[in-house]
Structure 1
Amino acid sequence: MGHTRAAVTRRGFLTAIGTVGVGALAGCTGVTGTESGPVSLLCAGSLARTVERHVGPAFREQTGRAIHGEYHGSNAVMRMVQEGVERPDAVVSADATLLRDRLYGVATDWDVTFAANSLGLCYDEATEPGEQLAAGTPWYEVVGGADDGAIAIGDPELDPLGYRALQAFELAQRAHDLDGFRERVVPRLYTEPDEPQLLAGVETGSRAGAVVYQNMAADRGLPFVEFPDRYNFSNAALADHYATASYTTDDGYTATGRPILYSATVCDDADDPAGGRALVQYLCENPSVLTAAGLRVGEQLPGEHGSVPPEVNV
């Protein structure tokens, strides 16, 4: 249940999304280029329930248009767009810098940031690790003593949630003087290649916990231990500190630690760019819908980067 198994799954997963994704988006855009068909969205997996249960219904009520969402780890999303596998109307990443690094000059030249988040450990109170966490035992002691496969993380090759978990372990190791913590713990974790399914094991009781974003736990009503600011990637004032941890993917992309910022853009050759821009505008104008789903929207949001089109007012 460790990294070897996940690596095999990852290859199959990337092949599957590259093959299935085109048909999924192309076949569900309704009346392409009009204002009546669904807006196609390729989105960070951590926002799957946020879009399906909160943003989607509210957007449809306001605009009369549905959202057809497809959800994967943000790195997988960026690679699908970067490699021309898919061109949805709108793209959302859980890492704004990742989107800029991967897509600028390839599919877009702008994005807007619209929400923030925090990292921590979600758990099942009925398990032994869950009981320990509920009783106040430090999370790193619980994770360090948990059985192999009991704690899950996202796949760092496919999504920022995965590489942020590893970066958090590195920063926590320094913060708490936990010599060798990351190297000892990581091989014993379960790596989930399908980010939207990361909490499925916790909900069914097959896993004791998972390192997730706060909104993912909040929207499911599951207990959550938020990591301290020094490694939960929520505090913009600690950006330089976060940047001391990094992860390099198999294809050579190095992600440094940075505050969690969700960003959205519209591909240059989207079938329905007006629909994509309308969805991005909605995300910027309706922070209450986002906070109701457990996300954070502070004074610095929304923000713009690059050549934001005049139709998107930030």
Structure 2
Amino acid sequence: MIQMTGKTIIVSAALLIIVLGGLIYSYQAGYLFPEYLTVFHAGSLSIPLHRLGGEFSKVHPRIHMNFESSGSVDAVRKITDLGRSCDLLFVADWILIPKMMYDQHADWVLIFASNEMVIAYTDKSRYGDEINSTNWYKILSREDVAFGRSDPNCDPCGYRALMVIQLASIYYGDPSINKTLSEHKRTVIRPKSVELLALLESGQIDYAFEYKSVAIQHNLKYVELPDEINLSNWTMRDYYRQAKVTIIKGDRRVLIAGAPILYGVTIPKNARNVDDAMAFIRFMLSEDGRRIIEECGQNAIYPAYTDDPSRVPSELRGYVQRLLGEM
């Protein structure tokens, strides 16, 4: 028979307390039974979402965030065409969710931020000391100037760049602007707009069609465009509809009309961690979450807009308002 002395009992109890304390700490810190949130998102949301994720994880240490960046159209296609699952989908054009995902892959969308289009450039850019909000299209038209835009079939910033060009033709009363800029020989196209940044900063291109928030986040110079062109003004939505771009989705063609830049989020039907996804959205819409969005150059919208409040989960209805006006 093994006899335990008082000293042995004390040591054993101390060891047990240490082990239990370690287990409790590991559980609270997320080392035991971690939960994961998989997030597909637009490239222009990389910085704000990583900041939001960092703050969210401080409050919910057991939740590990997995971010996957791409163009918004490609992010949707990962779900609709490739059958991949994620817990949160963030797109740079909210209309992609109802247009490409209702009702098979998603039921609702929240519109949580806005943005505008600008022409980004650096100190290395040709004619950077000349360009302004009235002559930008003339500068970009020059044969020795190279500029970039993203692929409209992959990224909303790409089809918005084409819309900006179309609207410029209307605004300045010069139909040649559309043809000259959309067919410019030194145009560089990449799958998503943030991939143009390295080319811009290295001097391989002089200018890029970008979101204002991206220019701010990367400390770039930028030309602000008139409201009639920059897709920022909700009251000009009817005017923006004059611009139209057809994108290719698999074997289908989808017509996208010009509209104000509004970011959308949804929880897809194949999400595996709905509860934590809801918690993340609530945090994003909180005062702290909205502050982070604003600091990253986007304009936070609260209450968030939605096309149909009755479709939104009950846990989120207190955070939304109906989107007024047709899109």
Q: Do the structures match in fold with TM over 0.5?
A: yes
The structure-2 alpha-carbon separation of the partners of 1:66 and 1:289, relative to structure 1 and needing over 3 Å to count, comes to farther
Q: Is the 8 A contact 2:118 2:211 kept in 1?
A: yes
* Structural mapping, 1:30-45, within 5 Å: 36-45=34-43
Q: Indicate the SS of the match to 1:196.
A: helix
Q: Is the 8 A contact 2:109 2:264 kept in 1?
A: yes
Distance 1:204 1:75, change over 3 A: same
Match of 1:47 in 2: 45
Q: Where does 1:139-158 land on structure 2 (aligned, <5 Å)?
A: 139-147=136-144, 150-158=146-154
The TM-score, its normalising length taken from structure 1, stands at 0.83
d(CA) in 2 for partners of 1:110, 1:229: 29
Cα distance in 2 between the residues matched to 1:257 and 1:232: 10
- The answer for the alignment partner of 2:108 in structure 1 is 110
Q: 1:304 maps to which residue? A: 306
Show CA shifts across 1:188-223 (max 9, x none): 211111333121211222211100001100011111
Q: Which residue of 2 aligns with 1:277?
A: 278
Which residue among 178, 183, 189 is the counterpart of 1:187?
Answer: 183
Query: Quick check: 2:216–2:296 contact (8 Å CA) kept in 1?
Result: yes
CA contact (8 A) 2:74 2:154 kept: yes
Q: Does residue 162 of structure 1 match 2:158?
A: yes
Tell me, yes or no, if the aligned pair for 2:155 and 2:192 is still in contact at 8 Å.
Answer: no
Deviation, 1:281, is 1.9
What is the rounded CA distance, in whole Å, between the counterparts of 2:134 and 2:142 in structure 1?
A: 11
Counterpart of 1:197 in structure 2 is: 195
Work out whether residues 129 and 146 of structure 1, in 8 Å CA contact, stay in contact via their aligned partners in 2.
no
SS in 2 for 1:80: helix
Q: 3-state SS of the aligned residue for 1:302?
A: strand
* Distance across 1 between alignment mates of 2:45 and 2:213: 8
How far did 1:109 drift? Answer: 0.5
Aligned residues: 278
Alignment-derived partner of residue 242 in structure 2: 244
Maintained 8 Å contact 1:115/1:261: yes
CA contact (8 A) 1:115 1:301 kept: no
The aligned amino acid for 2:141 is G
> What amino acid is aligned across from residue 273 of structure 1 in structure 2?
V
Please report how far the alpha carbon of residue 146 of structure 1 lies from its aligned counterpart in structure 2 after TM superposition.
4.9
Superposed displacement of residue 256, structure 1 = 0.3
Greater strand share, structure number = 2
CA displacement, residues 7-42 of structure 1 (integer Å, 9 cap, x when unaligned): xxxxxxxxxxxxxxxxxxxxxxxx9xx983231100
Aligned equivalent of 1:255: 256
Residue 89 of structure 1 contacts residue 266 of structure 1 at CA under 8 Å; is this kept in 2? yes
Cα distance change, pair 183–277 in 1 and its aligned pair in 2 (3 A): same
Alpha-carbon spacing, 1:35–1:181, altered in 2? closer, same or farther (3 Å): farther
RMSD, aligned CA: 2.0
Q: Which TM-score applies when normalising by structure 2?
A: 0.80
What are structure 1's unaligned runs of at least 5 residues? 1-30
Q: Larger RCO: Structure 1 or Structure 2 (Cα < 8 Å, ≥ 6 residues apart)? A: 1
C-alpha change, 1:140 and 1:302, in structure 2 (3 Å) is same
- Alpha carbons of structure 1 residues 278 and 114: separation in structure 2 relative to 1, 3 Å: same
Residues 24-70 of structure 1 show CA distances to partners (whole Å, capped at 9, x for unaligned) of: xxxxxxx9xx9832311000111122222x22222222322332111
Task: Tell me, in whole angstroms, the C-alpha distance in 1 between the residues paired with 2:129 and 2:199.
Answer: 17
For 2:65, which of 30, 50, 67 is the aligned residue?
67
> Counterpart of 1:133 in 2: which secondary structure?
coil
For 2:72 and 2:48, how far apart are their aligned partners in 1?
15
Tell me what 1:294 maps to.
297
Greater Rg, structure 1 or structure 2?
2
Q: Is the 8 A contact 1:72 1:195 kept in 2?
A: no
Q: 2:313 is matched by which residue type in structure 1? A: P
